Amino acid sequence: MEKKQALQCVVLFVCISASWISVESLGNGLGLTPQMGWNSWNHFGCNINEKLIRQTADALVSSGLANVGYEYINIDDCWANYNRDKWGNLHGNDATFPSGIKALADYVHSKGLKFGIYSSAGTRTCSGRMPGSLGYEKQDAKTFASWGVDYLKYDNCNTDGSAEKQRFPVMTQALRASGRNIFYSMCEWGYQEPAKWGAEVGNSWRTTTDIKDTWSSMLFNIDINDGYAKYARPGGWNDPDMLEVGNGGMSYNEYVAHFSLWAISKAPLIIGCDVINLNKEAHSILANKEVIAINQDSLGVQANKVKKYGDLEVWAGPLSGGRKVVLLLNRGNQGTKLITFNWADVGIPPNSAATLRDVWLHYTYKKTIRHKLTVRVAPHSCRLFVLQPV
């Protein structure tokens, strides 16, 4: 009898723990590689409407960007009416999204793409122009699910002052209960170091404040993000904010470095420019399949900074198949510099020979290389290689 009771206790305990885990953690199976898509904020801010979003979906497909992996069309702030309706529901802004959000999501889906939306873990969003979801998490998650939303970016403005660690998981559970599998992109700007707890809560978490379309802001964000490299993993990624490539504030070489750093850091590749009027240079950067493949590599390990001498840096990380990715960065503006790295710096056995592929030149060097490599790197530029030990 006593034995039987003890067994019942164990069974009960196992059941309780199992249900606790399944309620607490997101576990939605999404984001096995970093998410790729487009978001309205960096280029358009609050200046958005349904025509723009539909044309962007069209352009993502016609430009070939959808074909190389960009799949989410995400509307950021300012999509809803100023107030909820009398039942407490959110609605698309009557002036700018008159057909409603469900119709827009249907259109995006008809293009073979996925649809994302935005809210805040506060009473209003960051623009102040629409309500946030604090206190309405379940209701809003249900609304999003009923519209066919695939992705939620959840911001951190106009809060009640409670901890992010408490507020963000409320939406995790609301999404789980919504009846639809929704990617959860947490945006609490690194306040409570979400890299350390985010994997249970969301699919990605911002590690920084908002990016600006400048070389220094881009580097500032990727440096902070680098400090959390070890926490990134399939299903949960560090997010140093969306891409500025194509917005005009940086040179071609600077945007190549921006995209390369995001790719090796397994950062979300969320385009932040106007893809309807995309220039050729930006297209060639965003559509580089070899660089995208580094970001989407099945191993899912974030590369990090392994060496620094003043403005010169070596970043490296493992890829599937025993390959290594190596990025050489010249942050300075004082002319072309030589950067050297040793095999030990990038995790290759010292005596191994390796082949070297430049993924921007799309060129594999004829000779294999041993021990170390020295490369010329122009100012405000990077070189990006994949090494295959042979």
Q: Which of 123, 127, 146, 340 binds ligand GLA (CB under 6 A)?
A: 127
- Give CA–CA dist 377/330, Å, rounded: 6
**Upper half-sphere CA count for residue 313 (Cβ side, 13 Å):** 21
Residue closer to ligand GLA by CB (options 113, 126) is 126
Among residues 150, 232, 223, the alpha carbon closest in space to that of 194 is found at: 232
Q: Which of 48, 73, 101, 126 binds ligand GLA (CB under 6 A)?
A: 126
To ligand GLA, the closest distance from the beta carbon of 93 in angstroms equals 14
Residues of this chain, 35-74, that bind ligand GLA according to CB under 6 A: 41
CA 336 distance to own-chain centroid: 31
To ligand GLA, the closest distance from the beta carbon of 190 in angstroms equals 11
To ligand GLA, the closest distance from the beta carbon of 41 in angstroms equals 5
- Closest residue (Cβ) to ligand GLA? 126
**Region binding ligand GLA by CB under 6 A among candidate stretches 121-129, 246-254, 293-301, 324-332:** 121-129
**Region binding ligand GLA by CB under 6 A among candidate stretches 10-18, 124-132, 134-142, 369-377:** 124-132
Contact 164, 191 (CB under 8 A): yes
To ligand GLA, the closest distance from the beta carbon of 244 in angstroms equals 12
To ligand GLA, the closest distance from the beta carbon of 205 in angstroms equals 12
- Give CA–CA dist 272/240, Å, rounded: 13
Residue closer to ligand GLA by CB (options 270, 294) is 270
Catalytic residue list: 155, 210
x-or-dash pattern for ligand GLA, window 197-226, by CB under 6 A?
A: -------------x----------------
Q: What are the CA-CA distances from residue 19 to residues 11, 12, 25, 218, 296 (Å)?
A: 12, 11, 10, 42, 32
For tokens 């790729």, the residue is 36
Q: Find all residues with CB under 8 Å of 311, minimum gap 6, and list them.
A: 330, 331, 332, 334, 337
- Give CA–CA dist 83/81, Å, rounded: 5
- Give CA–CA dist 197/216, Å, rounded: 28
- Give CA–CA dist 76/10, Å, rounded: 47
Among residues 64, 148, 63, the alpha carbon closest in space to that of 109 is found at: 148
Residue closer to ligand GLA by CB (options 158, 173) is 158
Identify the burial level of 21 via C-beta atoms within 10 angstroms of its C-beta, where 0-12 means exposed, 13-18 middle and 19 or more buried: exposed
* Residues near ligand GLA (CB under 6 A), total: 9
Residue closer to ligand GLA by CB (options 76, 297) is 76
To ligand GLA, the closest distance from the beta carbon of 241 in angstroms equals 7
Q: Which of 50, 71, 76, 297 binds ligand GLA (CB under 6 A)?
A: 76
Residue closer to ligand GLA by CB (options 120, 388) is 120
Rounded-to-10 torsion of CA 296, 302, 308, 310 = 70
Is residue 187 involved in binding ligand GLA (CB under 6 A)? yes
Q: Which of 26, 40, 48, 77 binds ligand GLA (CB under 6 A)?
A: 77
Phi, psi (degrees; rounded to nearest 5) at 246: 95, -5
Residue closer to ligand GLA by CB (options 75, 346) is 75
User: Which residues contribute to the site for ligand GLA (CB under 6 A)?
Assistant: 41, 76-77, 125-127, 155, 187, 210
